[in-house]
Amino acid sequence: MIETTEDLMLGGRIRLRQPRDGFRAGLDAVLLAAFVPARPGERMIEAGCGTGAAFLCLAARVPDLDVAAVEREASMAALARENAAVNGVAARVEEGDVADVALARSLGPFHHALANPPFWPGGTPPPGAIRRAATHESEVGLGAWAVFLAAGLRSGGTASMILPAARFDVGVAALRGAGLGATLLLPLAPREGMEAKRVLMRARKGANGSARILPPLALHLPDGTFTMAVEQVLRGAASLGPA
């Protein structure tokens, strides 16, 4: 049995049970959810949802969403279902793999799809199977994640991901290869004037427009506290980026 903690997100709007050890949801999940341009009543799917942090943050910001999610690890999928119930979100959480494109099609069509996919193709993975699967690619690379996101989308629907800035070029190519275009990038810098360490990216199914790079978002002030823009996301469930 997995030992868990219960944590609060979005200023206490969300209660999240997650493993005490191993991969734990945090800032990336909140920022990813804030970047999805969802509207009330629309349908969304998260691939590799873990314990459900991202889709719960999105549902807390946008009322009346029709929520679906896919997670390969049975223990994480069970926690995601439990977290959805505790937070009053009627989410359909399926055990499945992003290599199963037919699953995405069977669950869709969706207005929005999102993922915080494993992103490192090599190097030394962290200990623990679940944490390793969350950060390091296995036989399924970013291209397969983009294909899964695109497969369940309706025409014009959006796919959003968060990646290390060092992998943004691979992410853009993966989205384009899956038939997703007009990519929008939001670089995330630790502090103003510093290089971005993370990037949010969003593309639309069937779109042919040029890619755009938004001004970088600084996460922290010089004293280490969050900037006002980030505080508004973390505490007030504000959105990021244009609709």
pLDDT tens for residues 187-220? Answer: 999 999 999 999 999 999 999 988 999 999 999 9
User: Where along the chain do its domains lie?
Assistant: 8-236
Q: Are 240 and 234 in contact (CB under 8 A)?
A: no
Residue 234, token pair as written in the block: 């973390």
In this prediction, the residues of the chain whose per-residue pLDDT falls under 50 are 120, 123-124, 126, 128, 130-137
SS3 235: helix
The whole-angstrom separation of Cα 111 and Cα 108 is 9
Predicted pLDDT at 139:
63
Q: What is the DSSP string of 158-196?
A: EEEEEEEGGGHHHHHHHHHHTTEEEEEEEEEEEETTSPP
Predicted pLDDT at 20:
86
What is the pTM (predicted TM-score) of this model? 0.90
CATH topology classification for 8-236? Rossmann fold (3.40.50)
First-residue to last-residue Cα distance in the chain: 42
Residue 33, by phi and psi: left (phi above 0), alpha (psi -120 to 50) or beta?
Answer: alpha
